[in-house]
Amino acid sequence: MPPIRKILVANRGEIALRIMRTAREMGIATVAVYSEADRTSPHVRYADEAVCLGAAPSSESYLNIDKILKACQDLHADAIHPGYGFLSENAGFAARVRNAGLIFIGPSPESIEIMGSKLAAKQAASKYNIPMVPGTPDAIDDRDEAKQIARGIGYPILIKASAGGGGKGMRVVENEAEFDEQMDRAVSEAKAAFGDGSVFIEKYITSPKHIEIQVLGDHHGNIIHLFERECSIQRRHQKVVEEAPSISITPEIREEMGRCAVDVARSCNYYGAGTVEFIMNEKKNFYFLEMNTRLQVEHPVTEMITGVDLVKEMILIAEGRPLAIAQENLHIRGHAIEVRVYAEDAANHFLPDIGTLHTYVKPDGNGVRVDDGFEQGMEIPIYYDPMISKLITYGEDRETAIRKMTRAIDEYQISGVQTTLSFCRFVMQHEAFVNGSFDTNFVSRYFHPDALSTNTGHGEASLAAVISVLLNNTSTEQKPVQNEEVAVNASKWKARRFAAH
């Protein structure tokens, strides 16, 4: 494959900028695409050339394959980077890019297709010795047979949609009496969300840690892993805090999990950057869940601890070059934490907030990285994901990275929209986060809006809190939230969002 000279970035916001910056460092020209809502966005100004795709809704712009391919042809781009979300895991899009004679900076359509189905992924992975949660190997068509299997596994079990993602079509079944009802719900949810009602069952791991491994594969069959990211701090399947490395695994588990991740990638002849997801139970047994065939939001923490520019590697791989990094030359150095800053009101059920960034002043200094796609004075569009930025800190060890994060959060000045920054500070100060005894239930177990510090000053109180937690002489245990009631008041976001459609 020839060297790439011009990349069209089929995305927006922070990830579009992130990709263009590396392209520029490599001497590769960039084309931005944008919707009418993003005319003034930094990613549009940063690119060498830019094409307006159309109206704000994604279907008219960032998801419109015909318009994106036409922009490539018109501006003679020879490659497309899809970023994350939008068309990044659309096998049909990857195939159309290839058929148009262009380079898709990502995996093959075949790999995307296999890993897009949880059942196909498990089937492919079963060629290797990879631990998987006990369950049914195929979609369920006979309920009595499925109940038999469930009895054998032992309740609680989990019904999952094969085409699923983000927890949709997932149902916990506590006992056999609930089986049929939950099965009906899972199937209809899966049909509605994915147009595919295939479901399967697994033993339900009640308090898992979510750990994922970054992999890179080339077109010559070489595959390496770049260690793990700990992603257990999430809310309703939306990650909030990610870090690398995980404090919960030993070097032995890391090596074994890395070997498994490489084999999962090998099972679908993977090339490009990908992420293999695992859950780990209290006994530190881990199980393969699924593979994400894209660059992930949280990739920076891996970049910080390995020194590898993942976007650069993706581009070199797409050019057909063999990986220049050997597994034995990769080492973890230091510790990195990322928090996602969303335009959401953590004090009010994390309702998306809209408005103008009246004040927007980023933190800075040693060990601080901010990946964002907005500037002071800009409006947060209502059409897309409400993530404003990713705040990443890096230090020689976890304690240093936490201290830097707390300092950086307190320096970050945002007014005009509510953000999740105060929630992120809450996490950094929480004993269970600091001592590592958290799992995927962290937010529902510990978070209550009353816990949000109203302190917006320059962090003396919060710094004192984190120090006292680090010194292990205080308990910040919060009362568990029993149930998250659904907000009843129609938010201004919802009102405007519906008005916009």
Nearer to ligand MV4, 234 or 462 (CB): 234
294 is catalytic: yes
- The answer to whether 158 contacts ligand MV4 (rule: CB under 6 A) is yes
| Binder among 140, 205, 253, 318 for ligand MV4 (CB under 6 A) | 205
Residue 275 Cβ vs ligand MV4, minimum distance, rounded to whole Å: 11
**Phi/psi of residue 286, nearest 5 degrees:** -115, 155
- φ/ψ of 249, rounded to 5, equals -120, 150
Q: How far is the CB of 143 from ligand MV4 (least distance, A)?
A: 19
Across the strands, what pairs with 413?
Answer: 361
Applying CB under 6 A, which of residues 5, 45, 76, 237 lies at the interface with ligand MV4?
237
**CA 214 remoteness from chain centre:** 12
Taking alpha carbons only, the member of 94, 412, 122, 476 closest to residue 278 is 122
For the CB of residue 491, give the shortest distance to ligand MV4 in the complex, in Å.
Answer: 24
Return phi, psi of residue 362, to 5°. Answer: -80, 150
275 versus 406: smaller Cβ distance to ligand MV4: 275
Using CB under 6 A, which residues numbered 422 to 461 contact ligand MV4? 440
Does the footprint of ligand MV4 cover residue 234 (CB under 6 A)? yes
276 is a contact residue toward ligand MV4 (CB under 6 A): no
Q: How far is the CB of 389 from ligand MV4 (least distance, A)?
A: 22
Residues whose CB falls within 8 Å of the CB of residue 73, separated by 6 or more in sequence, listed in order: 100
For residue 350, which amino acid is it?
F
Q: How far is the CB of 322 from ligand MV4 (least distance, A)?
A: 32
Nearer to ligand MV4, 460 or 484 (CB): 484
- What single-letter DSSP state applies at residue 2? P
Q: Kindly give, in sequence order, each residue whose CB lies less than 8 Å from that of residue 192, ignoring residues fewer than 6 positions away.
A: none
* Shortest separation between residue 156's beta carbon and ligand MV4, angstroms: 9
Q: Which of 112, 115, 279, 414 binds ligand MV4 (CB under 6 A)?
A: 279
Give the one residue of 210, 229, 299, 430 binding ligand MV4; rule: CB under 6 A.
Answer: 210
CB of residue 486 to ligand MV4, shortest distance in Å: 18
Q: Which tokens hold the place of 379?
A: 């409006």
Residues 6 or more apart in contact with residue 436 via CB below 8 angstroms = 247, 248
Q: Which is nearer to ligand MV4, 143 or 237 (CB)?
A: 237
Q: Which stretch binds ligand MV4 (CB under 6 A): 204-212, 293-301, 349-357, 491-499?
A: 204-212
Q: Examine residue 133 and tell whether it contacts ligand MV4 (CB under 6 A).
A: yes
Identity of the residue, 160 or 335, whose beta carbon is nearer to ligand MV4 in the bound complex: 160
- Contact between residue 256 and residue 262 where contact means Cβ atoms under 8 Å apart: no
User: Tokens in use for 129?
Assistant: 């010795």
Contact 410, 204 (CB under 8 A): no
Q: Kindly write down the DSSP assignment for every residue of 324-392, as one continuous string.
A: ---GGG----SEEEEEEEESEEGGGTTEE--EE-SEEE---STTEEEEE---TT-EE-SSS--EEEEEE
Q: Applying CB under 6 A, does 204 fall inside the site for ligand MV4?
A: yes
Cα distances from 100 to residues 62, 353, 394, 461, in angstroms, run 18, 40, 41, 58
Q: Which stretch binds ligand MV4 (CB under 6 A): 196-204, 248-256, 258-266, 313-321?
A: 196-204
In whole angstroms, give the CA distance from residue 268 to residue 127.
10
Among 137, 167, 365, 377, binds ligand MV4 (CB under 6 A): 167
Nearer Cβ to ligand MV4 (147/404): 147
User: What part of residues 294-313 is at the interface with ligand MV4 (CB under 6 A)?
Assistant: none
Query: Before 251, cis peptide (omega within 30)?
Result: no
Q: Among residues 95 and 139, whose Cβ is nearest to ligand MV4?
A: 139
161 touches ligand MV4 by CB under 6 A: no
Q: Which stretch binds ligand MV4 (CB under 6 A): 100-108, 197-205, 267-275, 444-452?
A: 197-205
CB 244 within 8 A of CB 303: no
Of 96, 229, 254, 294, the catalytic one is 294
Tell me which residue of 132, 32, 118 sits closest to 75, measured CA to CA.
32
* Among 83, 197, 208, 274, contact with ligand MV4 (rule: CB under 6 A): 208
One-letter amino acid identity for 436? Answer: G
Q: How far is the CB of 229 from ligand MV4 (least distance, A)?
A: 12
> Rounded CA gap, 80 and 20, in Å?
11
Using CB under 6 A, list all residues that contact ligand MV4: 133, 158, 167, 202-205, 208, 210, 234, 237, 279, 289-290, 440
Name the residues annotated as catalytic. Answer: 294
